[in-house]
Amino acid sequence: MGRQFLSSTVEDRVATVVLNHPPANALSSAVLSEIDDIFAELSTAEAVKAIVFTGAGSLFISGADIKEVAGITNEAMGKTLTAQGQRMLDRIEQMEKPVIAAINGLFCLGGGLELAMACHMRIAGERVRLGQPEIDLGIIPGFGGTQRLPRLVGQAKAIELILTGDKITAQDAKAIGLVNKVVPDAEVVKQAQGLAKKIAAKSAVAVRAALRAIREGAVLSLSEGQALESALFGRVCESADKKEGLAAFLEKRQPKFQDR
């Protein structure tokens, strides 16, 4: 089935998904539905081991569709929209394949930043500005921003950014741990793809286990998290990839993982 807003390509087991919804790549309900669909498809695609998400044109994602938000006039409508956005971003965060946001262009704001935060890693262009400016519209983040931002940058800084609506530079975002890396604008997608290809060369069994340990451990006590880690470690020790990885190390050669 053709998609109206998204396109995707696969190279070296890395899928690159591009959002093209001019003029601002806004996250309307229709766009959210397409994003949810494509990630559901990629989650089971055997040819794909890592995913890069980026925006077409001069910006990553401006945020939620303002006209659509303006049409929300009661609590039930607000809950419906945010529930849809939260479900979609939860799917991204819970992917067993790493998802890298290639934050290109000039702005990554509101729902755009919320989507980027749901990704496992973020590569930003040097000119991009990031923020949660919903407060300036008399609303608050609704796609998980009040929950993921404090987990990434700490509560005090998250409160500052959400209550002021300030937009920060990519360099400042890196300094507070919001993005992993800042690169020249023209290199954003290429750098994200390079990182994705590096991870795609690893064992999918180990990558999947590591992502689960980190994701689920974040909401557990230290002892519970370590118990989860131990259980997952035990499982990967039974994998063919573990045997190959250790054999390759001892034989001083590159491993040839089969993802099983």
What residues act catalytically?
114, 134
Strands 129-131 and 181-183: unpaired
Neighbours of 246 (CB within 10 A): 12
DSSP for residue 244: H
Phi-psi region of 110 (alpha: psi -120 to 50; beta: other; left: phi over 0): left
d(C-alpha 124, C-alpha 122), whole Å: 6
Neighbours of 76 (CB within 10 A): 8
Strand order in the sheet with 129-131: 107-109, 129-131, 167-169
d(C-alpha 204, C-alpha 70), whole Å: 43
DSSP-derived 3-state class of residue 64: strand
